[in-house]
Amino acid sequence: MSIQQIKIQSLDDLFRCIALSSLLEISGWPKPGNVHRTNDFLDTRFEHFIAGAVAIQPTFYDFCKKIFEVESKTNTSYDFVNLGIFFYKASKSMMDWQNGGNVILGHILILAPLVAAATLCIKENKKSSIDFKYYLNKIIEGATVNDTILLYKAIILCSPGGLGHRGKYDITAKESIDELRKDGITLKKIFDLSRDHDLISREYSSGYNITFEIGLPYFRETFREFNDINIAIVNTYLKLLSENEDTLIIRKSGKKAAKRVKKLAQDIVLMNGIASKRGVKMVREFDEYLQKEKGKLNPGTTADILAGVIFCALIFGLKF
């Protein structure tokens, strides 16, 4: 990612970017395989996603204010960010305010370190994307075992689909929390361990490589070319899907299915996505194909990463 400058000036600006990043991702149409404005799943509607996004905004507000008010100090471990507390509180708010189940746990996870890093940039009057990435990495590295335990509790609270069983530290096993505490498994460690079967874990483990090296440059370039926010959102979603096998699909339907979805996305990206008539037809056919599986071919993790891409574009000055 080239060096960019943060354009937002205040926490109020930041809160607008947080809300918009979730709402724009959810509203992008048509993002093939997702719940969207013209397609609901059996028990989960488009409106449930909107409700979930709105419900977590006060939790983000408290999260940012507390980070902003911590007294500046040198050689800090950054454990004061308390990512785990945020994960749990935001997840509870999301579940309390709608009946569609786990709708945006991925947004909560992918946005939290980005939002915390942006808060510190505003607090310390740092504008460069270099500073933003520095804080981002420090926040992830500084997260504690307690943050990991609260992450597990947040995930259990949301009961997401397709978790499966994965041996030691299996989130579905009762003894896992004791194992995490006993072995001193910090948030960075657990994401390092799970990076090969979860894209969000891979982002934490790699310093958000997909977001910064693939998603954000493509999003900005697409918006500059077409000056259309929906084209930028949907085409970036397709680009992300064309570069990585979606791990929610892998968990629900297997690696072969995820590879097939990735290949179909690659074909559509070559046709300029929804920026061309042929691409629009292909996207609609792609959506119909994915929707037939009733959520089993939903590239939900890709959509979550897209929310982080949009957030970064907004803090770096995107206006539409």
CA atoms of 277 and 317, how far apart (whole Å)? 30
> Which residue, among 131, 79, 128, 90, has the nearest Cα to 112 in the 3D structure?
90
Confidence (pLDDT) at 173? 85
Whether the Cβ atoms of residue 297 and residue 249 lie closer than 8 Å to each other: yes
* Calpha distance 296→272 (Å, rounded): 26
pLDDT of residue 161: 57
Mean pLDDT of the chain, nearest integer: 95
- Across-strand partners of 39? 36
- Give CA separation, 227 vs 194, 208, 237, in Å: 37, 26, 17
The residue ranges of every structural domain in the chain are 11-227+304-315
For the segment 190-211, what is each residue's pLDDT rounded down to a tens digit?
A: 999 999 999 999 999 999 999 9
Multiple choice CATH, 11-227+304-315, 1.20.950, 1.10.4200, 1.20.120, 3.40.630 = 1.10.4200
CA 3 to CA 7: how far, in whole Å? 13
pLDDT at 164: 47
DSSP class per residue in 226-285:
H--HHHHHHHHHHHHHHHS--HHHHHHH-HHHHHHHHHHHHHHHHTTGGGSHHHHHHHHH
Instruction: Give the angle 130-148-152 at the CA atoms, nearest 5°.
Output: 125
Q: CA angle, 186 as apex, 129 and 128 as ends, to 5°?
A: 5
Residue 74 pLDDT? 56
What pLDDT is attached to residue 168?
83
Residues of the chain with pLDDT under 70: 73-75, 160-167
Instruction: Look at residue 71 in the predicted model and tell me its pLDDT.
Output: 84
What are the tokens at 29? 């149409």
- Residues 208, 227: Cα–Cα separation, whole Å: 26
Residue 5 β-bridge partners: 128
